[in-house]
Amino acid sequence: MLTLYCEIILKISEYLSDHEKIYLSMTSRTMNEFKYRFIYTKKIQVDRILHLPYFENFGCVEMTNTMSKYPKNAKRVHFFAYSNIIPSGVTHLVFSFDFDQPIKDCIPSSVTHLTFGDHFDQPIKDCIPSSVTHLEFGFGFNNSINGSIPPSVTHLIFGYYFDRSIRGNIPFGVTHLVFDVSFNKRIKNSKDHMGRIVRAIPASVIYLEFGNYFNQAIKDYIPSSVTCIKFGYHFNQSINGLPSSVKKIYLPLNYRKPIDANITTRTKITRC
């Protein structure tokens, strides 16, 4: 019966905030024991909890010091990096604004979310581990991505200056693909030496966003997986060839091309 009681309390705690768990543990001596069994999920600086006897029970911590230890129950370890020395176990890695060092063999295979700062513009081939699912490049990145993005990535965001060829370089599996201001490369599909189609935009993408400079033909090049597409300020190409899967379209205010009725009746078009 006592075991069942404990299981119920622990289950209830999953719906409580960290503060509420602490308040609950203060209601009695018996409840105080749960302080050492609750898992605390809100992100917190690891230095603030090092002294706590229930340190190991924190599930999401933030580190800035490579010498800091993190709780054994941590599922998310956020690390803000100023150098390419990264502790193992980090899951969320953000490089500082001015970081621009080589990253070969420096990103641990525990990282799932990887964000580069605005000054980073180093080669990335064979540098991004296959654990990464969310990858974001900063303002200044404009290096080749040929064979560099692992198939594990589902969310891919490029920064302001990126304007490189993407044909065959965005892996199938990416569902959210965002380009910033400068990107204006053709997204035409091609064929390899075996006659297989090589796509610029893979057929796994659901959300697709182009930046302000993009103004290339899109007919037959947007896969039927896309449900939402956003175009920037200078886009003025026909959208009548968009697949029927597209339900939301964001167009610039100055867009002047005629739009077929079969597009306007089945999609929500927003001017922005």
Q: Which of 135, 143, 142, 201 is nearest to 167 (CA)?
A: 201
When pLDDT is cut at 50, 70 and 90, the band that residue 2 belongs to is low
CA distance 202 to 145: 15
- Sorting pLDDT into bands at 50, 70 and 90, what band is 65? confident
When pLDDT is averaged across residues 100-105 and rounded to a whole number, the result is 96
pLDDT band at 195 (very low <50, low <70, confident <90, very high): confident
Beta strands in the chain (DSSP E): 44-45, 60-63, 76-81, 92-95, 113-115, 134-136, 155-157, 176-178, 190-191, 197-198, 207-209, 228-230, 248-251, 268-271
Residue 5, pLDDT > 90, answer no
pLDDT score for 103: 97
* pLDDT of amino acid 118: 98
When pLDDT is cut at 50, 70 and 90, the band that residue 8 belongs to is very high
Q: Please state, for a pLDDT cut of 70, what percent of the chain lies above it.
A: 99
- Do the Cβ atoms of 208 and 187 come closer than 8 Å? no
Q: What is the mean pLDDT of residues 170-187?
A: 98
Res 191: pLDDT: 75
Residue 135: half-sphere exposure toward Cβ, Cα within 13 Å:
26
Mean of per-residue pLDDT scores for the chain = 95
